[in-house]
Copies of this chain bind each other. A is one copy, B any other.
Amino acid sequence: MRALSFELVGHDGKSRVGRAVTRHGEFDTPAFMPVGTQGTVKGLMPDQLATTGAQCILANTYHLMLRPGERVVAELGDLHAFMGWPGAILTDSGGFQVFSLADINQISNDGVTFKSHIDGSMHQLTPARSMEVQNALGADIIMAFDQCPPGDAPLPDQEVAVRRTLDWAEKCRAAHQRPDDQSLFGIVQGGTDHRLRAMCAEKLMGMDFPGYAVGGLAVGEGFEGMCDVLDFVTPMLPEDRPRYLMGVGFPRDIVVGVAAGIDMFDCVMPTRNGRNAYAFTAEGALRLRNSRFASDNLPIESGCDCYACEKFSRGAIRHFFSAGEMLGPILLSLHNVRFYQRLMGDIRRAIREQRFEEFVRNDPRSRLGPAENLEEIV
**Binary B-proximity of A4-46 (CB < 8 A = 1, otherwise 0):** 0000000000000000000000000000000000111011111
A223 within 8 A of B: no
A276 within 8 A of B: no
A311 in complex: contacting residue of B44, B46, B75, B315, CB < 8 Å? B46
Q: Which of A127-135, A140-148, A253-261, A316-324 contacts B (4 or more CB under 8 A)?
A: A316-324
A304 within 8 A of B: no
In the complex with contacts A67-B322, A323-B67, A76-B43 CB distance below 8 A:
no
Is the Cβ of A38 less than 8 Å from the Cβ of B323?
yes
A161 within 8 A of B: no
A40 in complex: contacting residue of B48, B294, B318, B327, CB < 8 Å? B327
A375 to B251, CA, bound (A): 45
**Binary B-proximity of A61-88 (CB < 8 A = 1, otherwise 0):** 0010001100010011100011110000
Is the Cβ of A297 less than 8 Å from the Cβ of B45?
no
CB-CB under 8 A from A82, the residues of chain B are: 313, 315-316, 319
A295 in complex: contacting residue of B43, B48, B76, B297, CB < 8 Å? B76
Is the Cβ of A326 less than 8 Å from the Cβ of B42?
yes
Chain A interface residue count: which class?
A: 35 or more
A111 within 8 A of B: no
A47 within 8 A of B: yes
In the complex with contacts A43-B327, A307-B47, A327-B43, A84-B319 CB distance below 8 A:
no
**Binary B-proximity of A152-179 (CB < 8 A = 1, otherwise 0):** 0000000000000000000000000000
Is the Cβ of B38 less than 8 Å from the Cβ of A75?
no
CB-CB under 8 A from A247, the residues of chain B are: none
